[in-house]
Amino acid sequence: MTIMLAKTREARGFTLIELLIAMSLTVLTGAISYQFLDASIRVQSQGDAALQSLADIEQTWQMMTSDLQHSIDRPVGKPAVGADMLSALESGSNGQGRRPAMMSAQFDNVLLSELTGRDGALLWFTRHGWVNPLGQQRSGLQRVLYRLDNNGNLFRDYWPERNQLFSSVPEGSVLLLDNVQAINITFLPHGQYPDAAAWLPYWPPTLTPIPTPPTASVPDEQPQPRWLPAALKVSLQTGELGLVERIFMLAGG
């Protein structure tokens, strides 16, 4: 009788409670593993997005560096046809002005977006050194416009410089960045120490030239007018990286 009872206990399976405990542990282990896997995927995805944003911003900086280092002191040409929206500003406040060589989003009661017909227009200027590998019949000068649309996309528009209307359709438009929440561009005039008070929120500050002080070696040298800023600072507020800034020196200033 004792032998029979022992065999019965050995052949007995798991109880219902034991099965429930085992299943619960399996489910809990699976849930924890899934959470770890999901967190790892999200962290990797966020890291990839941040790296891509960093690469896009660096590419934008390189583009702006090339443009600004090749910017030239070339006054805005009068359009061959159509109304000249800058003719009233040409004389300047003291009658010694000249048409601007660079224009910010707003200056002297002029809105660049209205002038160009491009919403969100931020910065306009002319650059030289436009590469022409196909040998096309065009100038090496290029009109450049940076603009931010209502969806947070930063574009670079460009035209071959022909003194055409400001509202002419650009030859090309390149998307540089997306998810840009805000952008701020400030300008440093020549002869100014680059402290916070020296940076101007618009350009040109007037439609008269900013003189360059005489050099120490030639004290009697006449100041030369400078129609471009010495430097330009761009501050970008992005969704992925927050605030990023870059200062650009202008060779043509």
The residue written with tokens 């390149």 in the block is 174
Q: What percentage of the chain reaches a pLDDT higher than 70?
A: 74
| Range picked from 11-15, 94-98, 136-140, 151-155 for highest mean pLDDT | 151-155
pLDDT value at 188 more than 90: yes
Return the C-alpha torsion angle 173, 130, 76, 222, nearest 10. Answer: 140
CB atoms within 10 A of CB 164: 16
pLDDT value at 16 more than 70: yes
**Is this prediction's pTM over 0.75?**
no
pLDDT value at 6 more than 70: no
pLDDT value at 219 more than 60: no
What pLDDT shows up at residue 121? Answer: 97
- 69 band by pLDDT with thresholds 50, 70 and 90: very high
In order, the DSSP letters of the chain are: -HHHHHHHHHH----HHHHHHHHHHHHHHHHHHHHHHHHHHHHHHHHHHHHHHHHHHHHHHHHHHHHHHTB---PPPPPSSS--TTGGGTT-TTS-----SEEESEETTEEHHHHHT-TTEEEEEEE-----TT--SS-S-EEEEEEE-TTS-EEEEEEE-SS--TTSPPSEEEEEESSEEEEEEEEE-TT---SGGG-BSSS-SSSS-EEPPPPSSSTTPPPPEE-S-SEEEEEEEETTTEEEEEEEE-TT-
Average predicted confidence (pLDDT) for the chain:
80
What pLDDT shows up at residue 77? Answer: 75
Strand pairing category for 242-249 and 106-107: unpaired
Mean pLDDT in residue range 100-114 = 89
| Range picked from 44-48, 49-53, 185-189 for highest mean pLDDT | 185-189
- 12 band by pLDDT with thresholds 50, 70 and 90: low
Cα 229 from Cα 253, distance rounded (Å): 5
What tokens were used for 193?
A: 């120490």
Domains of the chain: 51-75+98-206+226-249 (3.10.610.10)
